[in-house]
Structure 1
Amino acid sequence: MKIANKTFIVTGGGSGMGRELTLQLVQKGAHVIIIDLHEDDMNETANMAGQNSVSSYRIDISDKTAIDQFVQDVGTKHPNIDGVVNNAGIIQPFIDVKDLDFQQIEKVMNVNFYGPLYLTKALLPRLLKRPEAHILNVSSMGGFIPFPGQAIYGASKAAVKLLTEALYAELLNTKVGVTLAFPGAIDTNIMSNSGLATKEEEAKSKREAKFNALPADKAAAQMIKAIEKNKLHVLIGKDAKMMNFLYRLAPRRAINMITKQMAKMKAS
């Protein structure tokens, strides 16, 4: 798919990968419609990208009524939507399933799974009318290999995986391309955006842990390249590629390795 002169919707475009996706899509000649909960972050992204190249909407993607209204309203200003990047997501508190309450469980599922589903389903009739269009859904390394203490997050991302692959099959004979991204550890503000820490606490935690993750701009560049090449799967980062290989080769060994690593992190 050619990016220039297209209009994309990017969820979570106020910060992290969403911001980088927005900036790089604009650099390639697209107009980007940002959806995010954090208005200040959206404004900062818009200033960086250029106000004429970005439109911003403060919306909770887990609110189906709000999403349906947005898709209806946005059509008056932007009748042609060519792509959607379902990037927004949150993690759960780092605790086991037995200690999670259902309010926490439902929040993660609503944002990570139902959010992309609501937006994609609402936009599909319009995408199908375009000469070419694209859907990119962001899953996670945790969507194909389990991480103790992130079971519900992983389940939500595994649901995104199968939803996206089914969409690919259903849209195979149309002009709507579908891409599924599996990021590993990416340097974003996902803990603070998930309400699990302040931005300052998250930054301090990364420094103390000597956090080694792929920069968000490099992750975004790989995703956009996957859209341009109409790839089904894109594994983002060496860790995602390595764990995908190990999990396919020896699932139990890969799970045991992850479990030991998580235990070391808790102990440190």
Structure 2
Amino acid sequence: MDIADKVFVVTGAGNGIGREVTLEILRRGGVVAGLDVDSEGLADTAALAEGFDEKFLPLTVDITKRRLVEALPKKIEKALGPVDGVVNVAGIIQPFVRVNDLDFDAIERVMAVNFIGPLTLIKTFLPGLLTRPEAHITNVSSMGSYAPVPGQTIYGASKAAINLLSEGLRSELRESAVHVTVVYPGAIGTNIAANSGLDMSGVDTESSERKTVEPAEAGKAIVEAIEANKKRTLIGSDASTMWWANRVSPDLASNLIYQGMKDLLPPSPVKD
């Protein structure tokens, strides 16, 4: 897909990967309506997009609120033109605890942001995308969707739902001009824990064993995948390693992840 002059909706545009996707699209001649719940973050993105003022529309929106999302197509088309692509980047992780210790409020929030939100964006914009000469839907999943991360089981489940949503959409849209890409990042150097409202003080999340990809590199990879109409793309050596390990032996992949991440979990409950 040629990015130039195309209009994209990017969620999570106020920070991290979403911000970098936004900036990369703008650099390649595209137009972006950037969505985020964080108005200050969006203002920072706008400042970084200096020189692209007429091509960037920041919109403070909670993607879990369906009525707010459903009002977006008319607003965006009036300001920028018809939408050609939707990039679902926004996502949150759960507290690093076992399912047994995770309350339902946290479960529902993760599923709302990571699955229901992207689905709402897709349902809202797909009718318009189907009228375009060429269009694109990009869904950011996670390495945790195919290789289980202890303490992130519900997060992984929400991203696994994104996987099948993406694959099913691609099948349903096979005879249309709408392409679908699903992105599998590994560890990316973003502030996702804080953006998820988690206190990670006292937890060693910066271990040298957990090498991360810079958000700018991830953003560039995602935009390049859109340009190439790739069906799937992996970001980071960890994502690639676990992708193939999982195909050789799911148990092997699960054990490798557990050994590397188990220290983030509270101690296991001990029976008296």
TM range (shorter): over 0.9
- Rounded to whole Å, the distance in 2 between the matches of 1:102 and 1:11 is 25
Amino acid at match of 1:212: K
Match of residue 13 from structure 1 = 13
- Deviation per CA, 1:191-239: give whole Å up to 9, x if none: 11100038xx69x9555x3452000111111111111111100011100
Q: Give yes or no for the alignment of 1:137 onto 2:143.
A: no
| 3-state SS, counterpart of residue 136 of structure 1 | strand
- Rounded to whole Å, the distance in 1 between the matches of 2:122 and 2:244 is 30
What is the CA distance between 1:246 and its match in structure 2? 0.3
- Rounded to whole Å, the distance in 1 between the matches of 2:170 and 2:36 is 26
Task: Pick closer, same or farther for the CA change 1:189–1:95 going to 2, 3 Å.
Answer: same
Match of residue 70 from structure 2 = 68
Q: Give yes or no for the alignment of 1:261 onto 2:263.
A: no
Task: Pick closer, same or farther for the CA change 1:109–1:66 going to 2, 3 Å.
Answer: same
- Deviation per CA, 1:27-76: give whole Å up to 9, x if none: 00011110001111101111111322210111111111111122233232
TM-score, scaled relative to structure 2: 0.93
Q: Give yes or no for the alignment of 1:32 onto 2:32.
A: yes
Gaps of 5+ in 1: none
Match of residue 270 from structure 2 = none
| 3-state SS, counterpart of residue 186 of structure 1 | coil
- The structure with the greater share of residues assigned to helix is 1
- Rounded to whole Å, the distance in 1 between the matches of 2:262 and 2:184 is 23
- Rounded to whole Å, the distance in 2 between the matches of 1:72 and 1:150 is 37
The percent of aligned pairs where both chains have the same amino acid is 45
Q: Which runs of at least 4 in structure 1 moved beyond 3 Å after TM superposition?
A: 204-207, 264-268
What is the CA distance between 1:256 and its match in structure 2? 1.5
- Deviation per CA, 1:70-91: give whole Å up to 9, x if none: 2233232233101110000000
Answer whether contact 2:147 2:254 (CA < 8 A) is retained. yes
Amino acid at match of 2:126: L
Task: Pick closer, same or farther for the CA change 1:206–1:261 going to 2, 3 Å.
Answer: closer
| 3-state SS, counterpart of residue 106 of structure 1 | helix
Amino acid at match of 1:105: I
Answer whether contact 2:141 2:184 (CA < 8 A) is retained. yes
- Rounded to whole Å, the distance in 2 between the matches of 1:21 and 1:267 is 35
- Deviation per CA, 1:166-209: give whole Å up to 9, x if none: 011111111111100000000111011100038xx69x9555x3
- Rounded to whole Å, the distance in 2 between the matches of 1:205 and 1:126 is 45
Aligned pairs (5 A) from 1:107-146: 107-146=109-148
